[in-house]
Structure 1
Amino acid sequence: MMTRRRTSSCTKDLTDAHGHMSSTGKFSMLEFSMMYYRQNIDRYEALQSSTHGLQDSIKLIETLKLSTIKKRFLTRDNETPKQKKESWSWKEQAEAVKWSSVPLEKSLLKLPTDEMDKEAVECFSSILMFMGDLPMPEPITELDCVFRILKACHQQPELKDEIYCQLTKQTTNNKSSNSNSCSRGWRLLTLLCCWFVCSDILKPFLLTYLQQNAADPSRTYYTIASTCLLALRKTLKHGGRRNVPTSDEITAIMEGKLSKRQTVYLPGSQSGMTVNITPYTLVKETLEEICTKLGIISQAEMEEYAMFALYEKGAQSGADNCIRLKKEEYIMDIITQMRLHQISCTLLFERICWYYPLHYDVISYDCTNMMYHQAIQLYLDGWLIALPPSGSKVPHKLTEDIIQIASLMWRIGTNDDEALHLDVCVEFVPDLVLTYKILSPTQIFDGMAKCLKHLDPMTSTELDFKIDVLDILRRWPMFGASFYKAKCQTEPKLGGKCILAVNRAGVHFLDSDSQKCVLSYPFTEVISTRKILTDTIEKLDFKVGNNRIQKIIQIETNQAGDIVHIIGQYIKVLNSCAKLSS
């Protein structure tokens, strides 16, 4: 009977604010405190001889199993007064990992310097003030408390584990008279989980603490504990958030508003697509969400899409105002960075690889519309047309396709054929068609008038016409290509300026004037790419060839990173397809 009473008294100290039992087993915070908290290390250092160091003390503590400590506590009636004095009190251990309304005198963990110890004590006071367990003197605000904690973890990484331990302590068995204390502690913990990686030593204990609180839906803080667990796992895998949060973001998190609606624009879309993002949402996750909404469900095909940040022109001196976002970046880091610099930024979604066929029967209207507008813009800018050699006759099929595309574009916009005039029809062909006299305005007008008679808007929809345009363009050699202006001095055939084009057929070097393909290499002949950065010039080396003959083509470009990425994406897709077919 005595043993049962003592067990009840013992476990009572390890319950949370709602009576749920905290684990005292493997990787519990109690076990961590026994091995790494200052009070225990100091106690065992006193027992060690001067020839033994801190590591020996820790090893000694690690040999003490939790069951042994329990047994020792439960049999204290049989101990001598000296043994009672020297033994650890179970209650004393429990108090170390439970909520406290009293500021710390020293840090929980043994820190390298006295200055860090002092900062840890101040951070704990900031936690108490933020949670409403300690009066907040003027002019200190709640945001000041949060920023102090974040700043301390950022400037002194050794404090990250300490702050994590402080917050798990304050959210365990919280008996504060302030009803919001525990929830505010959990929200602070959410913030920390989004920004900072804990040490490998603390990791299993911290994960276990969060898993225990997120395992039972009946717990009051089950939802926010699940959020913390998800955020911490992402932080451990991808690294924490890079940029300091804005005051608005901190306020939103502290109010429990973790989800934010964000608009991402697609080519041809005026309103864009709305997605929900959290402080720990990755670019990759947003890409997958948009792809799913568009009807793209294959993971392999999702690799063909990317997101970009479009900055206002002149926002970054000397930099491209449209930057591809890395899949492992956090969306809110990008938004925060723009707000801190007061720069207007728009998020874009585009297809960058065009290896897989266009599944019109599966994908949504929005997806087809996006691909149409993306392809038609490249067409109107003249990138997809290769000019014939000087003096050569323009292929009839090319002129026929140009007139057909112009007619389809007209029908997509209107059914009023009487509005078609000579000065209007030229707006539906690339400028180079007129500049290089591939077709005259009269030829374009006459051809469109004839073609429109066969495009009945009563039997075909706008979507049908857009699909027809895509079906024409996808037969062209440069369809789906990404184009980059460059200079090449190592290849005489290119004569300096050139255009690099990358599509499903491989890597192509085009003449900068005629856009005729001068050199072309399938991906099987692209052995490697290497970026070379200097103070003034960015270069890119292509090693091309086969097992017998190889050579290096070097170009100068300010888009080397994007070129390497797009080539890598195509090779990745090709390898995936090869594995599936084997």
Structure 2
Amino acid sequence: MRDECYCQVVKQITDNTSSKQDSCQRGWRLLYIVTAYHSCSEVLHPHLTRFLQDVSRTPGLPFQGIAKACEQNLQKTLRFGGRLELPSSIELRAMLAGRSSKRQLFLLPGGLERHLKIKTCTVALDVVEEICAEMALTRPEAFNEYVIFVVTNRGGKSRSTSQPSSTVQRQARPGSTWSASTGSRHRRSAPTRPVPSFWASSAPYLCSAPPSSSSRAAATLLCQPLASLPSTTMASTFSAQRLM
């Protein structure tokens, strides 16, 4: 059924005879959404990938940018699994209008703020790698020291978005607050440049896990709810939790 869906959408964007000028463009935007949610079979995968690569890499063809984005979505979906939650009406309207990303606020201990661009297929590990790169942490094993937490209602229950398995089967609800923590030994190298706020309601925190007595000084209020989580969960490595 998923392969049939892919085939029908691809047919619409390759053999489009509609009189509406934006018909083909809307078909590509629909394909962008589908590739973020559903994988295809092993039989269709090489043909679909080749089609997207041909469009994105052939000079002069229209829709090269979105074809490349669809290819990236498909590879992420095959690697991590598709998104579990349907897009909200706001997100769906934004994607259909051609806006595929948003600037997400991340709060670090010490009142530091970072705005990062996240897309439909952005996972927690992508964010960790980007922030670690800003702190000059490039070793893959360093990424395992970081974890993103969800704190609902600012001070209520908190839960980790990562677990020992390769894929997390949970998703943050609208209005939830994403949080995480940075290790005390890396805190001094954290970015200090202030960043203006934005329209989104949720605010992820990058924090260290498990929180120690030395790290509570910089994030006392944050670490108190996180301390209620099992240490094995808090110390688990990053997995494929999506951020949208």
Match of 2:162 in 1: 326
Match of 1:123 in 2: none
Match of 2:232 in 1: 563
Residue deviations 1:342-374, cap 9 Å, x none? xx322223125x7xx6596xx34549xx88x98
2:219 & 2:23 partners in 1: Cα distance? 61
2:213 & 2:116 partners in 1: Cα distance? 21
Which residue identity is paired with 2:37? W
1:231 & 1:284 partners in 2: Cα distance? 15
* Displaced runs of 4 or more, over 6 A: 327-330
Q: Structure 2 matches for 1:287-366, cutoff 5 A? A: 287-312=128-153, 321-326=157-162, 334=171, 337-339=172-174, 344-351=175-182, 363-364=189-190, 366=192
Residue deviations 1:300-352, cap 9 Å, x none? 2222122111111697xxxxx1212128679xx84xx422xxxx322223125
With structure 1 as the length reference, what TM-score do the two structures score? 0.33
Which residue identity is paired with 2:142? E
Which residue identity is paired with 1:294? M
> Per the alignment, in what secondary structure is the counterpart of residue 338 of structure 1?
coil
Match of 1:227 in 2: 69
Deviation at 1:230, TM superposition (A): 0.3
User: How has the CA–CA distance of structure 1 residues 217 and 251 changed in structure 2, closer, same or farther, with 3 Å as cutoff?
Assistant: farther
More helix, by proportion: 1
> Per the alignment, in what secondary structure is the counterpart of residue 171 of structure 1?
helix
Asked if the contact 1:309–1:322 (Cα under 8 Å) also holds between the matched residues in 2, the reply is yes
Match of 2:20 in 1: 178
Deviation at 1:280, TM superposition (A): 0.6
Q: Structure 2 matches for 1:178-217, cutoff 5 A? A: 178-217=20-59
> Per the alignment, in what secondary structure is the counterpart of residue 173 of structure 2?
helix
User: How has the CA–CA distance of structure 1 residues 246 and 565 changed in structure 2, closer, same or farther, with 3 Å as cutoff?
Assistant: same
User: How has the CA–CA distance of structure 1 residues 376 and 233 changed in structure 2, closer, same or farther, with 3 Å as cutoff?
Assistant: closer
1:200 & 1:314 partners in 2: Cα distance? 45
Residue deviations 1:523-564, cap 9 Å, x none? xxxxxxxxxxxxxxxxxxxxxxxxxxxxxxxxxxx62xx415
> Per the alignment, in what secondary structure is the counterpart of residue 164 of structure 1?
helix
Q: Structure 2 matches for 1:121-270, cutoff 5 A? A: 159-269=1-111
Which residue identity is paired with 1:302? F
Deviation at 1:187, TM superposition (A): 0.5
RMSD: 3.3
Which residue identity is paired with 2:232? I
Residue deviations 1:426-460, cap 9 Å, x none? xxxxxxxxxxxxxxxxxxxxxxxxxxxxxxxxxxx
Q: How many residues align?
A: 213
2:89 & 2:69 partners in 1: Cα distance? 20
Deviation at 1:269, TM superposition (A): 1.3
2:67 & 2:24 partners in 1: Cα distance? 12
User: How has the CA–CA distance of structure 1 residues 322 and 366 changed in structure 2, closer, same or farther, with 3 Å as cutoff?
Assistant: farther
> Per the alignment, in what secondary structure is the counterpart of residue 264 of structure 1?
strand
- The structure showing larger relative contact order (alpha-carbon pairs under 8 Å, at least 6 residues apart) is 2
Asked if the contact 1:283–1:329 (Cα under 8 Å) also holds between the matched residues in 2, the reply is no
1:261 & 1:365 partners in 2: Cα distance? 17
Deviation at 1:190, TM superposition (A): 0.6
User: How has the CA–CA distance of structure 1 residues 377 and 199 changed in structure 2, closer, same or farther, with 3 Å as cutoff?
Assistant: same
Asked if the contact 1:294–1:366 (Cα under 8 Å) also holds between the matched residues in 2, the reply is no
With structure 2 as the length reference, what TM-score do the two structures score? 0.75
Match of 2:214 in 1: 375
Asked if the contact 1:267–1:374 (Cα under 8 Å) also holds between the matched residues in 2, the reply is no
